[in-house]
Structure 1
């Protein structure tokens, strides 16, 4: 069948405008499909990883946005003494927007010596010693650095906070690459924040074999009679609650992905059917030359598959490149969901377009293969 590829290519070239428009439409649809898939993958990746599974977040009770949670920093020292707690790290959170945003900038201030104990980070540029020694130094996630065009040594300001970029890091969890990590004391003493001795949350790293649910209840009971009560949850549960509204929106976006696939099916099917109608006589001549109906069926199917795969590969490739270059993320209440790219996402896009190409070609191919020779030769 592959020896007839020049013939198929000539058929597409004769109707190149129509073929080009179909490929373009399929590319746009698969571009959107890949974007939808990337944010869904980012949502799935948010709570993956051993550190997320072994972590608890202690937050002020009856608070939602991080700017309203003000726990005493001393709580961290008390928590560190509880059996089953490996690390208790006080964290001050500051952000440019508490509501849903595509350009959320989140600062996490914490003791610099504890950062690498609770986060799996690797510096792509800069060095840890500068970050640990310089008071206003910060390490910036690679995705955020791409969005804001930041580099090592550059000064960066959001609101009242101005930091010096000491390093740019990559993380095992792509969502972490939208954060900026600074010194806890620096963020507490920043003019306008007025939060010395107060932190937004305390992150607990559990010892192996610790019952997370039981420890959450124990912590909240411990501080029930204190000046500020706590709400302790596993990190995954805490993040899911913070982005609850976004989860519903992302779930709805799945239907947009299905609509994109249906659009590709319609475009490719219509184009292939029009091509078959234009070549009714041509197919009849092929039959008189000895081409079996199976071979004609196969030629039309291959043509449909080529158009669909070309558009799908173009749209998927452009979307993957754009996502990798821009480092997009959507966030709410200090929690970000990265638009994640992976080889599997590209494979799913290509498989979807291949399947659509085959399904779209079935009716036109059957019409061409089973047409009567005499009637086809008489047609205009």
Structure 2
């Protein structure tokens, strides 16, 4: 504890240098945490698990929602397939099919079946009853509402569709928090697709082990039809369709690596300068009875403090940034919310401390390797 206290005093004696180092570490860790947030959000959206029971039925060889058109009467046929528990037809209208940071996605669904199909939806502002009363009403995801500054009663327009916000919803499913749910007939007419045509069907199966079997059966049923289908698990559909977005996020790994290397070099340089600036002081500590190990530990503490304080500022800054800005990446009508998580926060702080420790090892060795007499004469 005494060595830790001395380390704090040593850093406070060089306030400007310590502050600049901390700010540099904070900037690097902010970038690292931002990259990790994107990577984690993508992993959640694309990696399947044993709890996944949803299939997406799409028009074969189609990607953008504007090109996928399926007859709504497929609904009754899909319901009769063994293993299917629930089906909902969805019409999608999106303002941009390419990779974009500001995507507005409308999902037209039968209002009377939305809550039964997706009980995870929770109306946190407004009411579901208001949504049922008006044909132009919309249930807006919390993430989208934050990004656009929307509240119940507000009107907004996108993709040529004018709606009134009936409620703000939250959900454990990230996609639900980034879209606006509207009445299916209303969106079919507003987007000029026409009644009886939908973009896709979302199908829930009774058991996750039946996903592939049910998907194959659906595609086989409509293979000879005028509008053949391509059915995939929801997360696999996301991974296959949003390729541009996935490639973009994958590239950010190099930015994260660059940020880590920059922090490592910055802390190492700062601690090394501190050590070189107090050669005589270190020699005096030794004459007073401090062992070389104690002096080395004190230097390591200084590196850990710089890494921890800077890392804490950078990671918390990144968490606050993504929380208040509510950024969303979209591609081919699919949206990915960039949401901070506890995992990313803990990982960022751990990496910052590890870098501080690693960066201070060489300066600690330099501080203790010089002969005492030579240090006193420096």
Q: TM-score normalised by the shorter chain: which range applies?
A: over 0.9
CA distance in 1, matches of 2:187, 2:47: 28
Residues 52-131 of structure 1 mapped to structure 2, 5 A cutoff: 53-119=52-118, 120-131=120-131
Partner of 1:242: 241
Secondary structure of the residue aligned to 2:230 is strand
Residues 1-380 of structure 1 mapped to structure 2, 5 A cutoff: 2-47=1-46, 53-119=52-118, 120-190=120-190, 192-208=191-207, 211-379=210-378
Q: Is contact 1:110–1:184 with CA below 8 Å preserved after alignment?
A: yes
Q: Check 1:88–1:50 CA distance in 2 against 1; reply closer, same or farther (3 A cut).
A: farther
String of CA shifts for 1:183-241, please: whole Å, max 9, x gaps: 10110111x52321110001111123762222222222222222211111221221111
CA distance in 2, matches of 1:224, 1:286: 83
Q: Is contact 1:51–1:118 with CA below 8 Å preserved after alignment?
A: no
Secondary structure of the residue aligned to 1:189 is helix
Secondary structure of the residue aligned to 2:132 is helix
Further displaced range: 242-251 or 369-378: 242-251
Secondary structure of the residue aligned to 2:255 is helix
Secondary structure of the residue aligned to 1:308 is helix
CA distance in 2, matches of 1:51, 1:235: 13
Secondary structure of the residue aligned to 2:153 is coil
Secondary structure of the residue aligned to 1:281 is helix
CA distance in 2, matches of 1:375, 1:50: 63
CA distance in 2, matches of 1:122, 1:228: 35
Q: Is contact 2:50–2:208 with CA below 8 Å preserved after alignment?
A: no
The alignment's TM-score, normalised by the length of structure 2, stands at: 0.95
Q: What's the offset of the Cα at 1:262?
A: 1.1
Instruction: Give the paired residue count.
Output: 377
Q: Check 1:208–1:11 CA distance in 2 against 1; reply closer, same or farther (3 A cut).
A: closer
CA distance in 1, matches of 2:220, 2:258: 49
CA distance in 2, matches of 1:194, 1:362: 66
Q: What are the ranges of 5 or more consecutive residues in structure 2 without an aligned counterpart?
A: none
CA distance in 1, matches of 2:3, 2:38: 41
Secondary structure of the residue aligned to 2:166 is strand
Secondary structure of the residue aligned to 2:164 is strand
Q: Is contact 1:46–1:173 with CA below 8 Å preserved after alignment?
A: no
Q: What's the offset of the Cα at 1:268?
A: 0.2
Q: Is contact 2:24–2:266 with CA below 8 Å preserved after alignment?
A: yes
Q: Is contact 1:45–1:173 with CA below 8 Å preserved after alignment?
A: no
Q: What are the ranges of 5 or more consecutive residues in structure 1 without an aligned counterpart?
A: none
Superposed CA RMSD: 1.7
Secondary structure of the residue aligned to 2:30 is helix
Q: Is contact 1:84–1:210 with CA below 8 Å preserved after alignment?
A: no
Further displaced range: 304-313 or 254-263: 254-263
The alignment's TM-score, normalised by the length of structure 1, stands at: 0.95
CA distance in 1, matches of 2:236, 2:113: 23
Secondary structure of the residue aligned to 1:53 is coil
Further displaced range: 127-136 or 246-255: 246-255
CA distance in 2, matches of 1:26, 1:301: 16
String of CA shifts for 1:284-317, please: whole Å, max 9, x gaps: 0111111111111111111111111111000000
CA distance in 1, matches of 2:236, 2:228: 19
